Structure 1
């Protein structure tokens, strides 16, 4: 069992926002205490401390990096597209850090923290859950991976309208359920799965690119990333918005994955609990958070936790996202050169495999398909679980009656809801092309940039003084609002009539 508020050992509390309980105040744990080591050296850092950003990176690589980025580059080239990728990745990494700041300082996941923003939880918590589900429930990554699995099994691309790829997509969702059910701690199982799959993906992509991509194309890709230029003629702002929204992660909705820092035990997350797997004993998750006092001891501990967060985000998430975008895009550009064909929404999930098959034979066809399926599966793994996690955390935190029914065990909601969501996504998969589903999700993610950066400013400004952001952090949040918010407004204008901008 984890601590309850009465067991925190203090009567001091901090009032933070509205409509939620005050936060009990107690000391931050040390990283050594949380991770069970005598000293947190480089070996222990990689073995125990780093990892939550890997779950976010696994989601990232399969959306913008494998589908939308390569599609845009395959159609329009690197110039005018690459710099959008870099700007998006930098802004999103900084936004992720601000979301995780709140989690570390209070132990509350963002969907629970939003309930502290006026007018209160009765507006923001249900709305936040709805936006996440509405954005990601379409299941485009599973559908795209299903196309790859069909090709692996049959040795050919699925015909238009084929049912079997959708069946394979549902099978992959079942695999996600089994991974979560078989874990002792769900977050840790996702980390280990992503360590294995992302390592395989990046090594495989690097080997492919070294083998088939000429140096000139490598340089063109790198130069496109660092050279600001006008968007290429013919690309729509909706396409750019999808690329911006799903480069790195999910723009304004990135917060839906940052709750893994609580389950990892970062900062005050260690005091609040985590969602356990079915193989574990029951672990109580507190319905409200805990925070720390402003004294020299806790100031020093906060700095240590914050450095760990920065290492995880910049060293793994940002670097991985940049490599994960560069390699697939130059690979796609080379595939376009080899095939002389056009990349479309219909063929992008298997375009590289088809081009390599024609040029290098069956072996390269299967290598590209396997990498594609792994990439898209890591994304669906993280997104599917996160939708369930956000809904579980929100319901558990805001409903005393539900907590009574669950008897303090959120797993009793988590796993049945995961099965229900699996059925719903299985139905939705039949209604649109996989990549159009992903593009829809990406632009809906930009909606979050119009809302959540300002809510984050409110919450983080009320944290204990050592944890509060510096003034330039607020500027970054406003830039997220302006950059991603523009693309969402354009998406809506395009959806109902004419886009705001055409190129």
Structure 2
């Protein structure tokens, strides 16, 4: 990346330096939510139609690898008690973490991967590292391979044989579908929101209907009770399995920041002043390469509190509740499938285990219903992860390389779409290399590595925001709790990978 000389930046109007190595933030007023969403009044109807939504993209990813693969597999093999409380703690900590990441995005209009470049020693370390860890964690493609298995079963009416090539070809076809969805969008984030409104709604309604039909009350109660019962993990489960479950419950633990940049594109807070990545059908928004913040005055403080309340509603009202339902409904369905079949899911068959069990007991109707839900779950994950890898790389490259911006004529789409094609080819090769759930477990534990690093960067940045936007001390305590909880699982994963795990049960 080209060297950025902050001393030669010509800024119009007041500015405020935040951190090191990147240009100062221009100071402008926060917009009112009504100005951003183009409504005269932000009531309940307008709230759901226009204001809420970025958390749905995160939720579409969330109700995926953890909720459909790792959680059901763990519960199917070991039961609810001793597993459920890890799910709850993970979801609570991650939602707090999401709010803190989004606090920075709203206060500066910068995507997190751009903000990391303001942390000492500067962007030459943190921007490439942020891109690398996201690509490294998710390029394995387990989420894509699992979706391909579901599509194969839908097409053929049977489970794919071990090692079959066709499921991988379906996974690649779904990657192409993601590319086309972004290609023909006017505003990419808005298109992802609308797609996830449909998919997440269909997933939760479909799961609820099937669970009400076939899952007895005692299993519902066991699932709910498991969330709130502190107990030692069950005998036989490994801390590596629990780490994968914790890492991909809710979203991606320490790497959740890779999705929170959608608050900028939605126009939350100062994101309205910095622009967004548009699709080819939309006009280029003039995405700024550096952020904008606001002054410490009463008018801006009042507007900030309004934006912060919207953020809390989006994260706790949609993301957290949706993530908990997204874990409860599939896991109790898996527990019922285990009862019906007399078998337990394995790493190889967990993507289609429930559908097979329902087929044997209830016939083809529920078999196909479960498969459709599974494909929607895994495709919504595929959509969010694939696009986010491209988005993070585009944001980092566009913000930190003046030479690239000149080459692109200031239009990040000229980087976004070619890089997406390159990534599509790379994932298509890599997903041939291992079982889907093994790939997902790898990604989840890489997510836990992020929890050892990025909360500290976030603490540094958020302490320098305008006074009204700065976090309270207990927010910092919760960020450190993320470090301890998810960091333990990553250290155990490394210990297990090279020898013996730190803990066995």
TM-fit CA distance, 1:9 = 9.7
Q: Which of 233, 240, 247 in structure 2 is aligned with 1:231?
A: 233
Q: Which of 418, 421, 443 in structure 2 is aligned with 1:419?
A: 421
Superposition pairs for residues 145-164 of structure 1, below 5 Å?
Answer: 145-164=147-166
Superposition pairs for residues 90-489 of structure 1, below 5 Å?
Answer: 90-489=92-491
TM-score (norm: length of structure 2): 0.98
Question: How far does the alpha carbon of each residue in 1:191-227 deviate from its partner, in whole angstroms, 9 at most, with x for none?
Answer: 0000000000000000000000000000000000111
TM-fit CA distance, 1:281 = 1.4
Structure 1 runs of 4+ with >6 Å offset: none
> Residue 24 of structure 1: SS of its match in structure 2?
strand
Q: Distance in 1 between matches of 2:442 and 2:489?
A: 12
Question: How far does the alpha carbon of each residue in 1:94-130 deviate from its partner, in whole angstroms, 9 at most, with x for none?
Answer: 0000000000000000000000000000001101100
Q: Distance in 2 between matches of 1:421 and 1:192?
A: 24
Question: How far does the alpha carbon of each residue in 1:308-342 deviate from its partner, in whole angstroms, 9 at most, with x for none?
Answer: 00000000000000000000000000000000012
The residue number in structure 1 matching 2:4 is: none
The residue number in structure 1 matching 2:44 is: 42
The residue number in structure 2 matching 1:64 is: 66
In 2, are the aligned partners of 1:10 and 1:26 still within 8 Å (CA)? no
Which 5+ residue runs of structure 2 have no aligned equivalent?
Answer: 1-9
Kindly tell me: are residues 287 and 9 of structure 1, through their superposed partners in 2, closer, same or farther at Cα, counting changes over 3 Å? closer
Q: Distance in 1 between matches of 2:271 and 2:404?
A: 22
The residue number in structure 1 matching 2:7 is: none
TM-fit CA distance, 1:10 = 5.5
Q: Distance in 2 between matches of 1:145 and 1:177?
A: 16
In 2, are the aligned partners of 1:331 and 1:352 still within 8 Å (CA)? yes
TM-fit CA distance, 1:142 = 1.0
Q: Distance in 1 between matches of 2:124 and 2:316?
A: 35
Q: Distance in 1 between matches of 2:462 and 2:223?
A: 37
Q: What is the total number of aligned residue pairs between the two structures?
A: 496
The residue number in structure 2 matching 1:490 is: 492
TM-fit CA distance, 1:428 = 0.4
In 2, are the aligned partners of 1:106 and 1:268 still within 8 Å (CA)? yes
